[in-house]
Amino acid sequence: MNEAARRAEGETLVLLNDDSRVDPGYVQRLVSALDPGAGVVMAAGVMRDAAATDRIETAGIEIDRTLLAYDYLNGEPLDVLDRPIRDPVGPSGAAAAMTREAFEDVGGFDERLFAYLEDVDLVIRLRRAGGTCRLAKSALGVHDHSATLGPGSARKDYLAGYGRGYLLRKWSVLSPRRLPGVLVRELGQMTIQAAMDRNLGPLRGRVHGLRAARSREPYPPPGVLGEPPSVAETVRRRWRRRARLRRRAD
């Protein structure tokens, strides 16, 4: 992605996952949501769920106080977009636009993150630099969730765990004040994943990610995370998402 950005010639970068398909006019609608003069340097598209196209798979990302991220509006009916809703903290890497200048100013993607949560790290840095995100409600597509490595695969679970461990250490999340919340989330999430997917990839990945995060950044300042959800809300949404994916696989 960084190499592609270096070779690109336009002022705007549009990112799209290899397991996504977009509707006609998607790029124009997504890019039109950007407004660099007003600080809007990111735009989030809306990906429908490939298995239930009347439902939203992702409309950007939200990030809690432990930097645990999840897809904004995941599982919500598509008609929720007809109502006033707030913008996400940032776009998902599956469907994003951003100004080339802002992307380059923060150094692009962290190349120690091969896949999963590299978009979260980038969004944190863009927001720390003063950038904001706008939801492009009419920029629609379809995302076939986890088609690259397969839902619940050991490889995907490892890479997602690696990204989680990496972010926890890189962004100085593991302070005494935040540690209890981290433990509650991590133990709950790893237990659910291990039980459903029957592999230890999430644990192995976290251990390796923690070790790999050599550079350290201060914990994100107030405002960068937007309106973080509570522990209960985070757990509830994670459980609902995993349950939907498991039912689909069965």
Angle at alpha carbon of residue 224, lines to 18 and 6, rounded to 5°: 40
Q: How far, in Å, CA of 9 to CA of 196, rounded?
A: 44
DSSP assignment of 80-103 = GGGS--PPPSB--TTEEEEEHHHH
Domains of the chain: 2-143 (3.90.550.10), 154-249 (no CATH)
Instruction: Please report how the helices 154-170 and 179-197 are oriented relative to each other, as an axis angle in degrees rounded to 10.
Output: 170
Question: What is the reported pLDDT for 13?
Answer: 97
pLDDT tens-digit map of 212-226? 998 789 999 989 999
Looking at the chain, how many residues does it have?
Answer: 250
**Do 89 and 61 contact (CB within 8 A), yes or no?**
yes
Which strand (E) or helix (H) includes residue 61?
Answer: strand 61-63
Provide the pairing of β-strand 132-143 with 40-49. Answer: parallel
In sequence order, the 6+-apart residues with CB closer than 8 A to the CB of 3 are none
| C-alpha to C-alpha distance for 62 and 102, rounded to whole angstroms | 20
Which residue bears the tokens 């598209």?
45
Per-residue model confidence (pLDDT) at position 247: 61
Mean pLDDT in each 10-residue stretch from start to end of the chain (250 residues)?
93 94 97 98 96 94 93 93 96 96 97 94 98 98 77 87 96 95 88 82 94 92 86 65 61
pLDDT at 167: 98
Q: Give the pLDDT confidence score for residue 246 in this predicted structure.
A: 60
Q: Report the candidate in 120, 110, 118, 129 with the shortest Cα–Cα distance to residue 223.
A: 129
Say whether pTM exceeds 0.75.
yes
Strand partners, 62: 70
Q: CA triplet 116, 65, 80: central angle to 5 degrees?
A: 70
> b vs e for 10-20, b when ≥16 Cβ sit within 10 Å of the residue's Cβ?
eebbbbbbebb
* The pLDDT of residue 244: 60
